[in-house]
Structure 1
Amino acid sequence: MNPLREALGALTVRGRAFLAAGTTTVVCALVVGQEPLVRAGLLVLALPLVCALVLARSRYRLALERVVSPQHLAAGQAARVRLTLTNEGRLPSGALLLEDQLPYVLGTRPRFVVEGIGPGWRRTVDHVVRSEVRGRFEVGPMTVRVRDPFGMVELGRSFRGTAPLVVTPRTVPLPAVPVEGGQRGAGDDRPRAFAVGSAEDVTVREYRRGDELRRVHWRSSARRGELMVRREEQPWQSRVTIVLDHRARAHRGQGIASTLEAAVSAAASVGVHLARRGYGVQLVTASGEDPTSHGHLREAQATADALLESLAVLRPATTPTLDTRWLGEGRSGLLVGVFGALGPEDVPALRRLAAHADPALAIVLDVDHWGAGGRRHPGESDAAALLAAQGWRVVVLGPRDRLDTAWQQLARRGRPSSAARPAASGATP
């Protein structure tokens, strides 16, 4: 678009009023023959046109820097957005009207008015965003309305840059209770059974290309007739697999009050708690394994952050059954499942999960009282009883039950014969 035409199309109400008044004055003055009035009308008519011409020929060089701190925060917490605007041009301008574009869940769009913009001008403004909904959002872009000093013309400009903001699920601090199972070796020191030979045989392995010669165990090499090297000592690490059933059919309610959000919060709380206790955390959903959540031999905080970021963008799935194709051979150690409503079609998957776990713990959301107003859905099985029948250790979590109490009951040693319910306290996990 032609810059002058764009500027004329951006005339404000004041500019259009001046145009109308100047034109009317000139016409009336010509009719009555008042030459001085003609000059006054031409001055009024020319003012908005000159302002539009100046704005059209001006080349504003505005630079914007946006910093969101922190970029990762839990739902309900606030983040500060700092905007630094710089005028890199040589010409001054009138007032600037700034509006930062935000998703509606982050609140109302902040608007600012800044004046006194000259060469080398720099201004910093802050605003706060907050979300009760988890997810990944983009803050920005910024739109700028530029006005001439007389307020005759207002041009719109937009910056393309945005900044990411990740809102993670709420987490609940859990008590440090002992949880058996889940220990697996890492590296060359994984235990293996042997029927003959000495303990020395367990500390050596076959030579591999690239091994240092100083690690060669000559006595074992002479006995076996091939080069053997000492095993590297690697730390042991307990591992846990968190299975989160995020199918839409398994949950009730809408928005932050739904059982899905409660399940995500429970899975996040358990994962963060175990990661900080040194566990390698693997997240598995109803759709299968999440490759971003592996925490094997990873720093605890990095494991927790990766898990929370994966859960932040989790959306309900339409898959009909639980996917167990990720299961390998043998037992996979400690497994913690977070489930909603379950049906008979889920029995094979639940049985297979329990068979590969040592032990298998389950947190079941009481969907009948959480999001359905106490109404039972036709053909719906009792999820807690169904899990217990497949060998799971189960605790039921209602809308008023405390997650930390439920975790304490779930982590107790021994397998209860029926599902347990934690004490109610009015707090939603």
Structure 2
Amino acid sequence: MREALRGLTVRGRAFLAAGVTAVVCAVVMGQPALTRVGVLVLALPLVTAVVVGRGRYRLALVRTVTPQLVAAGQTARVNLSLTNEGRTPSGTLLLEDQVPYVLGTRPRFVLDGIGQGWRRHVTYQVRSDVRGRFDIGPMSVRVSDPFGLVELGRSFSSTAALTVTPRTVPLPVVPLGGGWTGSGDNRPRAFAVGSAEDVTVREYRRGDDLRRVHWRSSARVGELMVRREEQPWQSRATVFLDNRAGSHRGQGIASSLEAAVSATASVAVHLTQRGFAVRLATASGEDSAGGWHAGGEESAGPLLEALAVVETLPRLHLDTTWLGEQGQGGVTVAVLGSVGDHDVPVLRRMLHHTSSSFALALDVDAWGGSPATATGGALPLLAQQGWRCASLGPRDRLDQVWQELGRSPSRPSGAPGRAAGVVA
């Protein structure tokens, strides 16, 4: 009852005030007829509050988001299905879905005539220019009586997730050189015929062809073993993102970090489409997307989901715990912000642990409001270490910079001579 009285609308409070005034005036003036009118006006909002407060509405809500994974700037459709599973009809329903402000304004709906078995479908669209993972909901419901005297609030607890991935740019095909063999750029490694390597076996891994199982070794060890010379290698590529807070400039979607995330997403999608098994690493040394992802059109989804929630890290040094054995890392594409002398040992280690190393160096000073540097920020330092590198500024087209990166010459680390970098 208290909740119902607190839910009185302006009209309901006006009825209460008018009823009390009429009763008082009737007593003072000695008008019994006016007393009956005042009691009627006073009782109407009170009775309505009792009826609405004791009403048991069994409303069911099903919310679906299609698609659940969209790129920044694209729209997603939210479908709402409301059902009255109770027997008590209600008056007007005022619905408001809770939506993060980056997805747009909160949608509001007015529904009336809700009886037993009532069902209604509502659809609206959301759109975000900002990457991230957002929760849509819960929905709040305002239940009103037919006279508009009482309005009570209810809320559903269910929500639905929407992931907005970074913008991507189609990249041209450029020669990337080394990497593991399989469905990428290279051919399978062959062991010498008749050597001891021919009988070297290893444990079975997911994806190995069962026809390659070495049954004699499997029987001796007690688990499946396959011949090493017949293992189905696949070209591998690691995409590294420098997301240290001190390596970037600018704020919001106009920051160098957002440009780096977009470039990383474009490279990851491009490599998976070319058949590379791709993994994602960040400055924290963690594999953000959960390991290697086989090449193919659909395999870039987990990589984009991981990039959608990447944030800056308050750290000074890069972590390279994701590196494997020396020379066994395949292709590495690093998207870097500003780097300093303290990063040289890490950059050299990354270079030695991969067969081909490429770097997109962002000219972060240009994002911070300073004039673009002629050397491209971190470009000279990377070129000195032997990286094939190119500079990316706010006004540069990523596809053109990528093409120039593929044309840039490579040289051994520490070799004298002109820097190998390309200023776009």
Which TM bucket (shorter chain)? 0.7 to 0.9
Partner of 2:419: 417
Pairing 1:392–2:387 present: yes
Q: Residue 217 of structure 1 contacts residue 229 of structure 1 at CA under 8 Å; is this kept in 2? A: no
Q: Residue 362 of structure 2 contacts residue 377 of structure 2 at CA under 8 Å; is this kept in 1? A: no
- Counterpart of 1:317 (choices 308, 313, 320) is 313
Q: Residue 293 of structure 1 contacts residue 303 of structure 1 at CA under 8 Å; is this kept in 2? A: no
Matches within 5 A, 1:360-375: 360-374=357-371
Q: Residue 388 of structure 1 contacts residue 418 of structure 1 at CA under 8 Å; is this kept in 2? A: yes
C-alpha displacement at 1:204, in angstroms? 3.3
1:305 alignment partner AA: G
Q: Residue 248 of structure 2 contacts residue 255 of structure 2 at CA under 8 Å; is this kept in 1? A: yes
Partner of 2:301: 305
Q: Residue 204 of structure 1 contacts residue 217 of structure 1 at CA under 8 Å; is this kept in 2? A: no
Partner of 1:352: 349
Partner of 1:98: 95
Partner of 2:403: 408
C-alpha deviations, 1:63-101, integer Å up to 9, x for none?
111011110000111111111111111121111100000
- Counterpart of 1:83 (choices 68, 80, 84) is 80
C-alpha deviations, 1:87-127, integer Å up to 9, x for none?
11112111110000011111111111111111111111111
Determine the C-alpha separation between the residues in 2 that align with 1:229 and 1:362: 36
Matches within 5 A, 1:15-414: 15-184=12-181, 191=189, 198-199=193-194, 201-205=196-200, 215-216=214-215, 233-296=230-293, 298=294, 300-331=296-327, 332-374=329-371, 382-412=377-407, 414=409
Cα–Cα, structure 1 residues 337 and 308, in superposed 2: closer, same or farther, change >3 Å?
same
Cα–Cα, structure 1 residues 65 and 217, in superposed 2: closer, same or farther, change >3 Å?
closer
Determine the C-alpha separation between the residues in 2 that align with 1:321 and 1:372: 25
Task: State the TM-score, normalized to the length of structure 1.
Answer: 0.87
C-alpha displacement at 1:295, in angstroms? 2.7
Partner of 1:425: none
Determine the C-alpha separation between the residues in 1 that align with 2:318 and 2:300: 24
In structure 1, the residue corresponding to 2:407 is in which secondary structure? Answer: coil
1:327 alignment partner AA: L
C-alpha displacement at 1:371, in angstroms? 2.4
1:126 alignment partner AA: T
Partner of 1:225: none
Determine the C-alpha separation between the residues in 2 that align with 1:244 and 1:169: 13
Q: Residue 138 of structure 1 contacts residue 163 of structure 1 at CA under 8 Å; is this kept in 2? A: yes
C-alpha displacement at 1:347, in angstroms? 0.8
Gaps of 5+ in 2: 205-209, 220-224, 411-417
Task: State the TM-score, normalized to the length of structure 2.
Answer: 0.88
Instruction: Provide the identity percentage.
Output: 59
C-alpha displacement at 1:56, in angstroms? 1.3
Cα–Cα, structure 1 residues 213 and 359, in superposed 2: closer, same or farther, change >3 Å?
closer
Determine the C-alpha separation between the residues in 2 that align with 1:84 and 1:364: 49
Q: Residue 321 of structure 1 contacts residue 345 of structure 1 at CA under 8 Å; is this kept in 2? A: yes
C-alpha displacement at 1:131, in angstroms? 0.8
Pairing 1:9–2:6 present: yes
Determine the C-alpha separation between the residues in 1 that align with 2:421 and 2:261: 21
C-alpha deviations, 1:319-359, integer Å up to 9, x for none?
11111232222211211010111111111111111111221
In structure 2, the residue corresponding to 1:289 is in which secondary structure? Answer: coil
1:35 alignment partner AA: P
Determine the C-alpha separation between the residues in 2 that align with 1:216 and 1:46: 89
